[in-house]
Amino acid sequence: MIEDKNQSRTDLSDLGEFGLIDHLTKNLQITHDSTIKGIGDDAAVLKFNNKKIVVTTDMLVEGVHFDLSYMPLKHLGYKAIIVNLSDVYAMNAKATHVTVSIAVSNRFPLEALEALYEGIETAAKLYNVDVVGGDTTSSTTGLLISVTAIGETDHEVYRSTAKPGDLLVVTGDLGAAFMGLQVLKREKEVYKVNPNNQPDLEPYTYIIERQLKPEARQDIVKLLKDLDVKPTAMIDISDGLSSEIIHICKQSQVGCDLYEDKIPLDPQVISTCEEFNIDSTTVALNGGEDYELLFTIPQEDFPKIKGNPNVSIIGHMKEASEGLHLITRANTKIPIKAQGWKNFES
């Protein structure tokens, strides 16, 4: 019996995800000189013989991170690799290796796992990473995939080094994966009522693809190098723009003004938000799973990225005392707040 009935109980949702990680890891000590950066960024940074290596791990759990009724296993395998590579790129590193661990119940036939591995293989090939190990075990309930990714870098970029005055830059566009998920959920409900209904998903192809087959921004690490831009801080957008801005600001001890009218949105996101009667800015701020990169650059680097179609300048960093704000289209200032912890909420 592991649980002691007499012990006091603290709900995990009281701590939140980051509070929980802080609480559990606060007594862990770093003893090796090779540990350059431990817990607290998109990946750990290790140094061996003057070579810097980044390591990151992420787990996907059935029913929490994916629903197999609309997530084909091949896509799931692909996505499991992508979400990890995204954290490697967020350190300004090149991804080189992954390990893949799975827990499966016997409700899955071999063919299902073959499909999962087809996706893993496709991602590994496309992103040029070697699958070098993992673990396979059984599960009494759902499917679980845990991937560890390893990369190398000459110049790692942390979340904690943004400066007041730096420009805040984001790649690609935001909110599409979340809206893709809303469409898939709606179609699942329609299907339950009428399995013969053939949905017309044509107007949603981009956003559904962003949910089912996300990509990681390997190209941006190269682009920044080619443009000779050294970001002062960087993070990938897995939980939503506002959460990632808060991470950079807290860890760098800076404030921020984010301009609503600068947030990049795909037309399909705008039209689907209208259809679902959801505010597109809220979706970009809190949606998550975009796997774009969010970074800060010194103002003098502005000419180097100006007009580049891969990036949008969405704000600038301020002194910490000035706080974190969204400057709305109506020119009002709204504090940027963290959203609740989705996965532990019942």
Binding site for ligand ADP (CB under 6 A): 21, 24-25, 39-42, 58, 87, 238
Which whole-number Å values give the CA distances from 100 to 5, 81, 117, 135, 241, in the listed order?
37, 8, 10, 7, 28
Q: How far is the CB of 34 from ligand ADP (least distance, A)?
A: 16
Known binder of ligand: residue 58? yes
Q: Are 239 and 291 in contact (CB under 8 A)?
A: no
Judged by DSSP in three states, 346 sits in coil
What residue type is assigned to position 96 of the chain? T
4 appears as a binding residue in the annotation: no
Does 41 belong to an annotated binding site?
no
Binding partner of residue 40 among Mg ion, ligand ADP, none, CB cut-off 5 to 8 Å per kind: ligand ADP
Strands laid side by side in the 35-37 sheet: 35-37, 44-48, 51-61, 144-153, 94-104, 130-138
E runs forming strands in 62-127? 94-104
Place of tokens 């509070």: 19
Amino acid letter for position 101: S
Is 289 among the residues that bind Mg ion (CB under 5 A)?
A: no
122 annotated to a ligand binding site: no
Size of the site for Mg ion (CB under 5 A): 3
In angstroms, what CA-CA distances link 299 with 37, 94, 261, 316?
A: 27, 26, 20, 9
The nearer residue to ligand ADP, 95 or 115, going by C-beta atoms, is 95
Pick 172 or 268: Cβ nearer ligand ADP? 172
Choice between 24 and 190, CB closer to ligand ADP: 24
Residues 228-247 that bind Mg ion (CB under 5 A): 236
Out of 41, 42, 156, 166, name the contact with Mg ion by CB under 5 A: 42
Q: How many helices (H) and strands (E) does the chain have?
A: 10, 13
Give which of Mg ion, ligand ADP, none residue 84 binds (C-beta under 5 to 8 Å, depending on kind).
none
Pairwise CA distance, residues 213 & 145, whole Å: 16
Minimal distance, residue 248 CB to ligand ADP, in Å: 12
In the bound complex, what is the minimum distance in angstroms from residue 309's beta carbon to ligand ADP?
26
Residues annotated within a binding site for ATP: 117, 134-135, 159, 238
Question: Which stretches of the chain bind Mg ion, using CB under 5 A?
Answer: 42, 87, 236
